[in-house]
Structure 1
Amino acid sequence: MSTKPLPLTTELHAYLVAHGSAPDEIARDLAEETQVVLPAEAGMRVAPEHVAFLTFLTRLVGVRQAVAVGACTWLPALAIARGLADGGRLACFDTFEGDTGVARRHWARAGVEDRIDRRTGPVADLLRELPRERYLDFAYLGADAVDHPVHWDELVRRMCPGGVITVDRTLRAGRVLAPRDADDRAVAAFNDEVVADTRVEVVMLPIADGVTLARVR
């Protein structure tokens, strides 16, 4: 069974974004200021349709305990925190130790700052400090691809049955088909590992630069 891929032109992408729940003023402001604070990470910005998807998915799953991993988790953290169930908490891990006033100001504007526990340092070590039981409903993985396997393993073992992990940028602008650099190769290898992992069922979606969803058994 095969279908013809839909060519996502600039015009069609604009139509797609316009016909979904668009990021509000707070999300747009946070995205713009994050780019000023972290200009080197501009290529890791989260697409507007992905922001809406994260909030939608978090609400759909009924998430109460979540983890977000990655150096550019400020906007995803906002999106996830907005979708948490009453009393829900998000542990947000990254290695960036600079000023986080930008993120916290916008989290406060959105009324979700008290739901987010941001910690910095070696992410693998931070993940190992989490409770050992299976208590997480949702996890977002957006860190450097080379670290994905270690972070993935620490997360999967802590996910509730039926919990969801979402991994960002898993298509690398199509370069997973013909990797050009170490990051491309790392993502391609990780994608192979995930689809072979018997602990999860997986679907890859062509949202933004590729989003992998894994439901833990």
Structure 2
Amino acid sequence: MAENRHQEVGHKSLLQSDALYQYILETSVYPREPEAMKELRELTAKHPWNIMTTSADEGQFLNMLLKLINAKNTMEIGVYTGYSLLATALAIPDDGKILAMDINRDNYELGLPVIEKAGVAHKIDFKEGPALPVLDQMIEDGKYHGTFDFIFVDADKDNYINYHKRLIELVKVGGVIGYDNTLWNGSVVAPPDAPLRKYVRYYRDFVLELNKALAADSRIEICMLPVGDGITLCRRVS
């Protein structure tokens, strides 16, 4: 039974044992999960693309991280139905802001009623469309440099490097960028002939390239965590 429930969420945990992952969820995540997040998670589980959602343990982690760094001005690239967005909106103060970008407004609007009911929709500025032109415009404007406390990226892996080139300018010194899926279903260590799903194989090289680039970037300190599908936190130091 635990095995099925685990897959329902759309995530294969990186932990070797499903039972251990289930233990984490049932002991520390689900009992403390805000009602709105539970509702959004269950609603998303019914969606055909539910593999794209942020896992509940990662939602809990992001929520605490944002409080620990006192984040107020944040950005999210890749929203889907908004589970990590809601985790962020609940964590930041009432006058906090999230610039949220996604190419698909319909998915966002699926979760929006839950976000509205939670009373945090006023913190969100949603923009539909590709993020890169928006980031380029912000950099050109000049007034957004070093203004973001936290940025979360869970979008098209083939553009992560392109996002990073811009986000490093926009996040403040001491601020954090989180890149999701940096262990990419564990495929980062799969042998060349491993039978991988087509989309996993396609994006794997981009994820490997990103991981190398982040490790070599002297402007950031990094920490790669086996939470969800792997999340790399980058703290800007210069």
TM-score normalized by structure 2?
A: 0.82
Q: Show the 5 A alignment for 1:6-155.
A: 8-22=16-30, 23-36=33-46, 38-39=47-48, 41-72=49-80, 74-98=82-106, 100-130=108-138, 131-155=143-167
Deviation at 1:9, TM superposition (A): 1.1
What secondary structure is seen at the aligned counterpart in 1 of 2:126? strand
1:157 counterpart residue number? 169
Cα deviations by residue, 1:157-176 (Å, 9 ceiling, x for unpaired): 11111101111111012111
Identity of aligned residues (%): 28
Deviation at 1:73, TM superposition (A): 5.9
Deviation at 1:80, TM superposition (A): 0.7
Whichever residue aligns with residue 33 of structure 1, its letter is L
**Gaps (5+ residues) in structure 2?**
1-13
Shift of the 99–184 alpha-carbon distance from structure 1 to 2, 3 Å rule, reads: closer
User: 18-27 or 52-61: which moved more?
Assistant: 18-27
Give the counterpart of 1:199 among 204, 215, 219: 219
Quote the Cα distance in structure 2 between the aligned partners of 1:34 and 1:188. 29
2:178 counterpart residue number? 166
What secondary structure is seen at the aligned counterpart in 1 of 2:28? coil
Shift of the 109–10 alpha-carbon distance from structure 1 to 2, 3 Å rule, reads: same
Number of corresponding residues: 210
What secondary structure is seen at the aligned counterpart in 1 of 2:42? helix
Quote the Cα distance in structure 2 between the aligned partners of 1:137 and 1:52. 18
What secondary structure is seen at the aligned counterpart in 2 of 1:129? helix
Whichever residue aligns with residue 158 of structure 1, its letter is L
Q: CA RMSD in A?
A: 1.9
Greater helix fraction, Structure 1 or Structure 2 = 2
Quote the Cα distance in structure 2 between the aligned partners of 1:15 and 1:124. 39
